Amino acid sequence: MRRTVIRRAGLAIAVFLTLAGVGATFAAFSGTTSNSGSSFNSASTFLAFVRNVGTADCGGASDSVTVPASGVAAGDTLIVRAAYRDRGSIAFATSVSDSAGNAYQRDLNDTQNPVRGEVWSAYVATPLAAGDTITVTHPDLDGNSMAVSEFRGVDAIGRVDQAASNSGNSQNPSASVTTTNGNDLIIGSVAHDANDTTITQPGGWNALPSVGTDCGIPPPHTLITLHGAYRIVSSTGTYTYDPTLPNNHQWVDEVSSYKG
């Protein structure tokens, strides 16, 4: 009996030729095949937007988002964007936590007085159920807001590829990252000193929730707005988040890329 094995793109086709005649038997498809100790796994993990979990603003010493129905699955990644405004020093301590005990890391933090913006991320090791909370803790400020979004396919460890920020006073915030990983989720986040959620997103970006906030009297000290967008890319390059605001504002623009 002679046996010929053809391997291509992870599919093993075994063709058996018998002495008594010619017959073909095809092995069942397997997502994993092996050859001389090497292996191929067709079960790839793909980067994907899952949903926007929620927004919150104007909490006293914290802001909290309540997880909606169906919860947040283990293995997903949460991106938390936060914006603050205060007449005092904006070099205060902040933290992010959730009621399931997942660990959050701060990936970006920048200021353009009186505005401060942050981007945090967490790999969800312990799933969140409906009714659980995600909380940003901070001092009691003039203005503050947060937004949480869920993504799938981000690496659990060493997930940040690149991160950069910029700040200014204009109608045209802009910040860029040059990625080094072939498949990245890129998050753009802008905080500015108004409560106007009008924004023109740049081409190629998908909008995340905007939060326009007036946390009380006396304005304008209590006004803060948080904008954001994301894109998923499959090649390295320089990616710029440069939305257009309706007017000139003090702004912070932050861009972070995550490995998939």
190 and 162 in one domain?
Answer: yes
pLDDT at residue 217, as a whole number: 83
pLDDT at residue 17, as a whole number: 30
Q: Which helix (H) or strand (E) holds 233?
A: strand 223-233
Q: Say what the pTM is.
A: 0.83
Enclosing domain of residue 29: 2-34
pLDDT at residue 45, as a whole number: 54
Structural domains of the chain, count: 2
27 and 80 in one domain?
Answer: no
63 and 9 in one domain?
Answer: no
57 and 10 in one domain?
Answer: no
63 and 28 in one domain?
Answer: no
The two tokens of residue 202 are: 């740049």
7 and 83 in one domain?
Answer: no
pLDDT at residue 20, as a whole number: 38
Residues 6+ apart with CB under 8 A from 12: 5, 6, 27, 30, 33
- Tell whether 166 is covered by a domain: yes
77 and 202 in one domain?
Answer: yes
Residues 6+ apart with CB under 8 A from 202: 229, 240, 241, 242, 243
62 and 171 in one domain?
Answer: yes
141 and 22 in one domain?
Answer: no
Please give the backbone phi and psi of residue 75, each rounded to the nearest 5 degrees, phi first. Answer: 95, -15
Residues 6+ apart with CB under 8 A from 140: 60, 61
Residues of the chain with pLDDT under 50: 1-44
Specify whether the CB–CB gap between 187 and 164 falls below 8 A. Answer: no
